[in-house]
Amino acid sequence: MKFWNINICLTSPKSIMVIISLLLSTIVIASVWPSKTKVEKPIEVKEKAIWEPTEEDIAFQDSMFCIIERTQLDLDTIRAGIDRILYKLERFDYPDGSYDSIRYVKGGKIDKRRN
C-alpha cells in the first residue's frame, strides 16, 4: 500500500506492533476516561411496626393446632392398623387352627421375594 509516497507493509512486525499498541492504548484510555456519574439519593428505610396477633388470630392458630394434633392421632391409629394387618399377612394359618409366624429378616429369602 502506498501511503504518503512510502511503501507500508501491514504484515511486517513493526506495523503489527503499532496496530496492537494503538488498539490496546485505545481500550485503556476508554476504560479510564471519566464518564458522567449520576448522584442517587440514598434510600430511606421506613420502620414497620411489628405484627401483634389479635384474639381472633390466636384463636385461629389454636384451632389449626388442634386440627394438626387430631390428624397426627389419626395417622398413628392408621399406622397401628397397618402394622396389625402386616402381622396377620406374615402369619401362616393352618386348617387345624394352629399358626406359624414368619420371621422377617431384611435381605432374607422372604424379603427378596417381596421386593
Q: Is the pLDDT of residue 21 over 60?
A: yes
Q: What is the pLDDT of residue 57?
A: 93
Q: What is the pLDDT of residue 41?
A: 83
Q: For 39-93, what is each residue's pLDDT tens digit?
A: 788 888 888 888 899 999 999 999 999 999 999 999 999 999 998 888 777 666 6
Q: What is the pLDDT of residue 54?
A: 92
Q: Percentage of residues in the chain with pLDDT exceeding 90?
A: 30
Q: What is the pLDDT of residue 83?
A: 86
Cα separation, 79 vs 65, in Å, equals 21
What is the reported pTM?
0.37
Alpha-helical segments (H) within 33-115: 55-89, 109-114
Residue ranges of domains in the chain: 2-32, 55-114
